[in-house]
Amino acid sequence: MSKLLLYLRTDTFRKNLIGALIAFALLFLGIYFGLKWYTKHGVSIEVPQVEGLHIGDATKALDKADLAYSIDYVYQMDAKPGLVIEQDPDAKSHVKTGRTIYLTIITETPPEVAFPDIIDKTWIEASAILRNQSLKVADTVYIADIARDVVLDVKFGGQPLKAGRLIPKGSQITIVLGNGQGADDIEVPNLIGLSLSEARFALSGVGLNLGNITYSETVTDSLSTTIVSQQPDSTSGFISLGSPVHVTLAN
């Protein structure tokens, strides 16, 4: 123990200790500044605003800022193809050089969806299903059928469209619905103001018959009379083929 204490008091020990401390300090400083240089500590870049730009302009801005980018695609109806709709990180965020900025842009080609089965669905049910599939109704056509407002047929591009067929999202289709009337139902024509012969001709042309003929008490010349009322009237809607229409005539 006495030899160790004597050694600790020697100049050799002091020189070795100082050298070791200097070497440790240099090693620490080397590691500290090396890490700062390697990680570019304190050096950051402000992310430019590219959301809302066309992808070409957006990539130019990111290249100029020395930032990388990754692109994902989505389809939106009525949106401009190539438009950047989302960026991550957000604009004005501070990141290191070379950081990847994730972009979401609008693609021009719509994805396809399997057309749903809407035959025999009510109009309300069918329209909700079509909206969920991002499909549009271009037109509705009514035909004679006792099933009122029920889908009887579907057409796409003028051709029948079957359930399961793949069509682009946003496609416009035509829906064929029943009008609630049988095939033998006839819309009641308006006979007011017609002569008896004109009324008989109009009714025979649509498959209806002239019923009871009544003259007003004020009639003085039956040859110059016109129809002033009818039963059923033209606002009654539809009646069966061959049904009679009763009329009243007056001068």
Percent of the chain having pLDDT more than 70? 89
Local confidence band at 125 (pLDDT 50, 70, 90 cut-offs): very high
Residue 75, helix vs strand vs coil:
coil
Per-residue pLDDT band for 134 (boundaries 50, 70, 90) equals: confident
Spatial contact of 247 and 230, defined as CB atoms under 8 Å apart: yes
CA–CA distance, 214 with 202 (Å, rounded to integer): 18
pTM confidence score: 0.44
Is the pLDDT at 42 greater than 60, yes or no? no
User: Which pLDDT score is estimated for 43?
Assistant: 63
Q: Distance between CA 130 and CA 140 in Å, rounded?
A: 14
Out of 39-43, 136-140, 141-145, 184-188, pick the least confident.
39-43
The pLDDT of residue 227 is above 90: yes
**Segment 233-246, tens digit of pLDDT:** 988 888 888 889 99
Q: What is the pLDDT of residue 242?
A: 84
Inform me whether the pLDDT recorded for 191 exceeds 90.
yes
pLDDT score, position 216? 87
Kindly write down the DSSP assignment for every residue of 19-30, as one continuous string. HHHHHHHHHHHH
pLDDT at 219: 77
Contacts of 28 (CB under 8 A, 6+ apart): none
| pLDDT exceeds 80 at position 251 | yes
pLDDT in tens, 147-177: 889 999 999 988 999 999 999 888 899 999 9
Q: How confident is the model at residue 39 (pLDDT cuts 50, 70, 90)?
A: low
Name which residue leads in pLDDT, 216 or 32.
216
Summarize the confidence of residues 70-90 as an average pLDDT: 86
* Whole-angstrom distance, CA of residue 163 vs CA of residue 226: 55
Q: Kindly state the percentage of the chain with pLDDT values over 90.
A: 45
**Which three-class secondary structure state does DSSP give residue 209?**
strand
Higher pLDDT, 35 or 84: 84
Average pLDDT, the chain: 85
pLDDT at 2 (0 to 100): 60
DSSP 8-state secondary structure symbol assigned to residue 216: -
CB 133 within 8 A of CB 169: yes
List the beta bridge partners of residue 114. Answer: 166
pLDDT higher than threshold 60 for residue 226: yes
Q: What is the pLDDT of residue 223?
A: 81
In order of 25, 53, 251, the CA distances from 32 in angstroms are 10, 42, 115
Average pLDDT of span 107-133 = 91
Instruction: For residue 24, report the phi and psi dihedrals to the nearest 5 degrees.
Output: -65, -40
With contact defined as beta carbons under 8 Å apart, do 204 and 152 qualify?
A: no
